Amino acid sequence: MKHIPVLAEDFRRFCESMPEPPAAYLDCTFGRGGHFRILIEDINTNMQADLIDRDLQAIEFGKKEFADLVERGQCRFHHLNFMRLADEASKELAEKKFDLILADLGVSSPQLDQAERGFSFYQEGPLDMRMDASKGIKAADVVNQWDAQEMIELFRDYGEIHNPTKVVNAIITERHNQNIETTTELAELIAKCIGWRKKGQHPATKYFLALRIFVNEELSLLQQSVVDLIARLKENGRLIMITFHSAEDRIVKWTFKEHKEQGQILTKKAVQATWQEKQKNPRARSAIMRVFEKGKL
Ligand SMILES: C[S@@+](CC[C@H](N)C(=O)[O-])C[C@H]1O[C@@H](n2cnc3c(N)ncnc32)[C@H](O)[C@@H]1O
């Protein structure tokens, strides 16, 4: 499936209303470059851009798709985790300041579509879920090795599932027979255990979300990384955060509030997709955008 950028019109509005078109842009989650394309084609064709993704496939796609910009030295791709910028980025990138920063968290449509990445509960693939397939533990390690209490806490805290005990017990029983190795094995086990409750939402949705967030350290590093990104803004620079999970959104909201003395929050109310956008792009259903503008330095 082609990746459609979420909240694209809102993104455009916040870019167009900047006092000056952004000259230096940091995209923390390049994906398929949907948001970047809006900027470079419609807002400032001369912009300088640093484009990050922890998924090597996204980086390879970007280098091909925007080969002319790379050649001209107008954009640079970086394969790293933006939440670990300070450790993983070159000194130059780690110290650079930007007029506009975007972090659009979550998975891209191509990641969901590739069964072998292990994000999808509809397509059979190894239970992996790592965005950077070369690092860290996999979802299968959690499901097959953790004890019951650890799994209950994970599903409660990261999946916001009120009572995951029944599913966790089913996982433990199943793995006594054999390890749970594939996405569909786990999805079917969960569906059998709790049944379909919401039309159109697979019963495994929140369990998969919790595993993905944990495996990719998406929540644990988020707060510090929002602080770091605010620090990287130039005067009047804007940080646009798009999250897909209420726990992530709460972190963004509170971190922005805690740093209000450094600027202002431009989204008094979080921006969410219109009904029309949600119809066109199901990924937009849970997207939440918040924008912070840096004040005088
Ligand atoms: C929702 S997609 C971004 C889509 C992009 N804005 C577009 O319009 O094409 C999220 C992307 O960010 C990447 N990603 C998620 N968390 C990341 C992190 N902590 N560091 C770097 N990349 C990350 C994923 O690999 C994925 O490609």
pLDDT reported for residue 141:
96
Q: Is 171 domain-assigned?
A: yes
Q: Is the CB of residue 35 below 6 angstroms from any atom belonging to ligand 1?
A: yes
If asked whether residues 92 and 173 sit together in one domain, one would say no
Confidence (pLDDT) at 120: 83
Domain end marker among 184, 215, 246? 215
91 and 137 in a common domain:
no
Tell me whether residue 113 is exposed, middle or buried, using C-beta atoms within 10 angstroms of its C-beta: 0 to 12, 13 to 18, 19 or more: middle
Contacts of 296 (CB under 8 A, 6+ apart): 235
Question: Same domain, yes or no, for 141 and 277?
Answer: no
For position 105, what pLDDT does the model report? 92
Domain extent at residue 269: 8-106+219-294
Based on the fold, state whether residues 95 and 226 are members of the same structural domain.
Answer: yes
Q: What is the pLDDT of residue 34?
A: 96
Residues 203 and 158 in one domain: yes
Q: How far apart are CA 58 and CA 109, in angstroms?
A: 11
Q: Is residue 55 part of a domain?
A: yes
Residue 261 placed within a domain? yes
Q: Which atom of ligand 1 is found nearest the CA of 80?
A: 21
Nearest to 30 by CA among 22, 17, 39: 39
pLDDT (average), residues 76-88: 91
Ligand 1 near 31 CB (within 6 A)? yes
Q: Please check whether residues 192 and 119 belong to one and the same domain.
A: yes
Q: What are the tens digits of pLDDT across the range 184-232?
A: 999 999 999 999 887 777 899 999 999 999 998 888 889 999 999 999 9
| Residue 2 predicted with pLDDT over 80 | no
Report CA torsion sign: 178, 183, 188, 190: positive
CATH, residue 252: 3.40.50.150
Do 23 and 100 sit in the same domain of this protein?
yes
Do 260 and 180 reside in the same domain of the chain?
no
Distance CA 210, CA 56 (A): 23
- b or e along 280-295 (b: 16 or more beta carbons within 10 Å of the residue's beta carbon)? ebebbebbbbbbbbbe
Query: Tell me, what's the pLDDT at 297?
Result: 77
Choose among 91, 99, 108: nearest CA to 34: 108
Is the CB of residue 120 below 6 angstroms from any atom belonging to ligand 1?
A: no
pLDDT at 269 over 90: yes
The larger pLDDT score, comparing residue 234 to residue 220, is at 234
Determine, yes or no, domain membership for 88: yes
Mean pLDDT score across all residues of the chain: 93
Please state the rounded mean pLDDT for residues 245-267. 94
Residues 123 and 175 in one domain: yes
Nearest-CA residue for ligand 1 atom 4 is 31
Which is nearest to 87 in space by CA: 217, 262, 233, 255? 217
CATH code at position 205 = 1.10.150.170
293 lines ligand 1 (CB under 6 A): no
Do 211 and 120 lie in one domain? The reply is: yes
The mean pLDDT value for 122-141 works out to 91
Residue 95 has pLDDT above 90, yes or no: no
Model pLDDT for residues 156-184, shown as the tens digit of each residue: 999 999 999 999 999 999 999 999 999 99
- Whole-angstrom distance, CA of residue 33 vs CA of residue 67: 13
Q: Which of 191, 215, 239 is the last residue of a domain?
A: 215
pLDDT tens profile 29-72? 999 999 999 999 999 999 999 999 999 999 999 999 999 999 99
- Give the position, in ligand 1's atom list, of the atom nearest the Cα of 8: 8
Q: Are residue 138 and residue 202 in the same domain, yes or no?
A: yes
Confidence label for 147 from pLDDT (cuts 50, 70 and 90): very high
Please check the confidence at residue 28 and state whether its pLDDT lies above 90. Answer: yes
Is residue 1 one of the residues assigned to a domain? no
211 and 121 within one domain: yes
Domain boundary, last residue among 181, 215, 249: 215
Predicted confidence at residue 9, as pLDDT, reads: 96
Given the CA of residue 3, which atom of ligand 1 is nearest to it? 9
In terms of Cβ atoms closer than 10 Å to its own Cβ (0-12, 13-18, 19+), residue 229 is: buried
Domains in the chain, number? 2
